[in-house]
Amino acid sequence: MTTCLSALQQWVDDVASHTQPDTIYWCTGSDAEYQQLIDEMQISGTLSALNQDQYPNCYLHLSHPSDVARVEHLTFICTEKEKDAGPNNHWMSPAEGHAKVDALFKNVMRGRTLYVIPYCMGPIDSPYSRCGVEITDSPYVVINMKLMTRMGSAALARIEREGSFVKGLHSTGDLDPDRRFIMHFPEELSIKSIGSGYGGNALLGKKCHALRIASYQAREEGWLAEHMLILGLESPDGDTHYIACAFPSACGKTNLAMLIPPKSQLGWKIWTLGDDIAWLHLDDDGRLRAINPECGYFGVVPGTNSQTNKNAFDMITRDAIFTNVGLTANNEPWWEGKKVGKPVTDWQGRDYDPDVGPAAHPNSRFTVAATNNPSYSSLAEAAEGVPISAIVFGGRRKKLAPLVYEARDWQHGVLVGAGVASETTAANIGEVGVVRRDPMAMKPFCGYNFADYWAHWLSFAERTDKLPRIFHVNWFRQDSDGRFLWPGFGENLRVLRWIIDRCEQRVGAKETPIGYLPEPGDIDIEGLDISADAMRALTRIDTQQWQVEIESIGEYFDSFGDRLPAALRQEQQRIAKELASL
């Protein structure tokens, strides 16, 4: 056995002696293994088959009612120095972090199977990909990792070749929120997660590895690990531009990544490369290239229907795992916004009663392999990734943020990203609908101090003059009656077209202190039922409101002290001054 594999074996042995599982199982990633686990979970009652005529190979899992979302308040970055984690993270010293969870891991796997899951984030032969091994006592985690990552024997072979991997230890524990912790040790490239079986808390390849640990590694090594979808936008002429968009959790990445153009946008086509995470590297020519480290989707179910997201609606009718949705009398999954059928039971398995709550939990999710998506781009498997033309930040803002605007240059673009704010969503346990700063949509996911992270972003301008342009979008502006001003979903293609027109220098723009806005008429609204007033509201800025916003960004920056890059302070002050002189 090679040194690396014996190090892996040693770690598995150590974990086993501490957690005392009944059995140890090394996952191969085969389809037969997947089916075997599905069968076992149906016997144990943790999974139930859905209507196999309408939803072949689809299953339902119901979480513990306290375990339905990420838990930012229980998520820690354990670096030697507190300042390295930054005010954007909860911090614990590595010694305390280990001690706290090691006590909870003691004998926790008694009566359970310990699964060893070798996985590769990114195409198995890409130099940009990174491997990890997750140890878990949850078969639900294994089957989700099978759909979401390149998992099993091929990953193990790469680990043996490379000699390194990120270590992730996970147990569902007793699901008691008082004994739930998601600990990251970036300096050791390891993760320990206990007490949750849910999504980002438990599928360690995803947010824990591919964002928190990877962002830390990316800074050291000169690349970026981001909470971004990647899409290809093909024009009627057959040119394809690749765009990477960072929107906070439950703010529209999956929907945009697999958008189907409306009938009015004849000849346009969207290709999906990724819907949640992008790893970005400069290539030898100085272009920024992206790979998607995942190969499946863990998507928000509510709101998915044949009009909003037909690709997702169709792809989850087979080979999908549903978590925390309701059921129809016909044993089909049901969720708010499905538009067809009606629920008889809710996400807790109780008789559905609209007075008690929704049938599907607002953060209910589907898990499905990317190959189920009719718009999946074959380039998502390309070792070299795709060149990025535009980076788009966004948030969920009822007020203030226009439909779209463009940063003046890279430095301003980093300010635009750092200033992102968005209303909180059900993707985290906590209050929903409160506006908070979510820089680059990375507030819950950056494995180090945001001040250092922004400095790292800024440094790319010193390395190349071929960086993508940076934009900001907001699909979520509302009128005074709480109705969305912009139709969203497929119609967002119209905004992407303006973005590409800007990249290709085919269209002018209105210069404002916050950036370049579209001139009236430059966004195609033909065939849309949208008033001229609404379009005006979407494409102008309110000077006073923006003065308050820019001041608030300045106060937010203050919390980073003198670690804040001077260039960001300068940008913020420049905008404040320009707004004041309007």
Angle separating helix axes 566-580 and 450-463, nearest 10 degrees: 90
Strands (E) across 486-535 are located at 510-512, 515-517
Count of residues touching ligand GTP (by CB under 6 A):
22
Write the interaction track for ligand SPV spanning residues 328-367; mark x where CB under 6 A is met and - where it is not.
----------------------------------------
- H, E, C per residue of 196-244: CCCHHHHCCHHHHHHHHHHHHHHHHHCCEEECCEEEEEECCCCCEEEEE
- Give the 3-state secondary structure of residue 125: coil
543 binds, among ligand GTP, Mn ion, ligand SPV, none (CB under 5 to 8 A by kind): none
326 binds, among ligand GTP, Mn ion, ligand SPV, none (CB under 5 to 8 A by kind): none
13 binds, among ligand GTP, ligand SPV, Mn ion, none (CB under 5 to 8 A by kind): none
Q: Closest by alpha carbon to 171, among 255, 102, 232? A: 102
70 binds, among ligand SPV, ligand GTP, Mn ion, none (CB under 5 to 8 A by kind): ligand SPV
Enumerate the β-bridge partners of residue 226.
278
Interaction between residue 206 and ligand GTP (CB under 6 A): no
Interaction between residue 117 and ligand SPV (CB under 6 A): no
556 binds, among ligand SPV, Mn ion, ligand GTP, none (CB under 5 to 8 A by kind): none
251 in catalytic set = yes
Nearer to ligand GTP, 158 or 209 (CB): 209
Interaction between residue 323 and ligand SPV (CB under 6 A): no
Pairing between β-strand 288-291 and β-strand 386-394 as defined by DSSP bridges: antiparallel
Nearer to ligand GTP, 101 or 121 (CB): 121
Tokens of 530: 């949208």
Interaction between residue 118 and ligand SPV (CB under 6 A): no
Interaction between residue 427 and ligand SPV (CB under 6 A): yes
Interaction between residue 300 and ligand GTP (CB under 6 A): yes
Q: How far apart are CA 129 and CA 76, in angstroms?
A: 25
In the complex, the smallest distance separating the C-beta of residue 564 from ligand SPV, rounded to whole angstroms, is: 26
- Tell me the torsion sign for CA atoms 75, 323, 371, 315: negative
Which residues lie below 8 Å from residue 126, measured CB to CB, with a gap of 6+?
Answer: 291, 382, 383, 384, 385
206 binds, among ligand SPV, ligand GTP, Mn ion, none (CB under 5 to 8 A by kind): ligand SPV
Interaction between residue 132 and ligand GTP (CB under 6 A): no
Interaction between residue 385 and ligand GTP (CB under 6 A): no
Nearer to ligand SPV, 170 or 206 (CB): 206
502 binds, among Mn ion, ligand SPV, ligand GTP, none (CB under 5 to 8 A by kind): none
Tokens of 486: 């912009």
Q: Closest by alpha carbon to 479, among 421, 533, 424? A: 533
Interaction between residue 457 and ligand GTP (CB under 6 A): no
Angle separating helix axes 31-44 and 139-148, nearest 10 degrees: 150
CB distance 182 to 74 below 8 Å: yes
Tokens of 160: 């043996």
Interaction between residue 322 and ligand GTP (CB under 6 A): no
In the complex, the smallest distance separating the C-beta of residue 312 from Mn ion, rounded to whole angstroms, is: 15
| Binding range to ligand GTP, per CB under 6 A, among 1-9, 155-163, 252-260, 512-520 | 252-260
Q: Closest by alpha carbon to 181, among 167, 194, 197, 200? A: 194
Write the interaction track for ligand SPV spanning residues 230-269; mark x where CB under 6 A is met and - where it is not.
-------------------x--------------------
- Tell me the torsion sign for CA atoms 524, 525, 531, 534: negative
152 binds, among ligand GTP, Mn ion, ligand SPV, none (CB under 5 to 8 A by kind): none
Kindly identify the residues of this chain, within the stretch 274-293, that bind ligand SPV according to CB under 6 A. 276
Calculate the CA dihedral of residues 63, 64, 69, 70 and round it to 10 degrees. Answer: -110
Contacts within 8 Å (CB) and 24+ apart, 508-515:
509/406, 510/539, 512/405, 512/541, 513/541, 513/546, 513/574, 513/575, 513/578, 513/579, 513/582, 514/405, 514/541, 514/546, 514/575, 514/579, 515/405, 515/406, 515/407, 515/408, 515/412, 515/416, 515/472
Kindly identify the residues of this chain, within the stretch 477-506, that bind ligand GTP according to CB under 6 A. 484, 488-489, 492
Nearer to ligand SPV, 171 or 572 (CB): 171
Judging by beta carbons within 10 Å of its beta carbon (0-12, 13-18, 19+), is residue 340 exposed, middle or buried? exposed
In the complex, the smallest distance separating the C-beta of residue 247 from ligand GTP, rounded to whole angstroms, is: 5
In the complex, the smallest distance separating the C-beta of residue 207 from ligand SPV, rounded to whole angstroms, is: 5
What is the contact surface with Mn ion in residues (CB under 5 A)? 249, 276
Interaction between residue 427 and ligand GTP (CB under 6 A): yes
**Which CA distances in Å does 220 have to 83, 98, 214, 427, 445?**
16, 24, 10, 29, 17
CB distance 390 to 348 below 8 Å: no
Interaction between residue 538 and ligand GTP (CB under 6 A): no
**Given candidates 158, 206, 289, 310, which one binds ligand SPV under the rule CB under 6 A?**
206
Q: Which helix (H) or strand (E) holds 545?
A: helix 543-558
In the complex, the smallest distance separating the C-beta of residue 293 from ligand GTP, rounded to whole angstroms, is: 14
Interaction between residue 70 and ligand SPV (CB under 6 A): yes
**Which CA distances in Å does 363 have to 67, 82, 200, 325, 432?**
11, 32, 12, 9, 11
Count of residues touching ligand SPV (by CB under 6 A):
9
Give the CA angle between residues 400, 406, 409 to the nearest 5°. Answer: 125
In the complex, the smallest distance separating the C-beta of residue 211 from ligand SPV, rounded to whole angstroms, is: 9
255 binds, among ligand GTP, Mn ion, ligand SPV, none (CB under 5 to 8 A by kind): ligand GTP
In the complex, the smallest distance separating the C-beta of residue 256 from Mn ion, rounded to whole angstroms, is: 12
CB distance 363 to 323 below 8 Å: no
Interaction between residue 71 and ligand SPV (CB under 6 A): no
Tokens of 32: 């037969």
Nearer to ligand GTP, 158 or 443 (CB): 443
From the list 131, 251, 295, 446, the catalytic residue is 251
**Sites of contact with ligand SPV (CB under 6 A):** 70, 199-200, 206-207, 249, 276, 298, 427
Question: Which positions lie near ligand GTP, rule CB under 6 A?
Answer: 247, 249-255, 275-276, 299-300, 302-303, 308, 427, 475-476, 484, 488-489, 492
Active-site positions?
A: 251
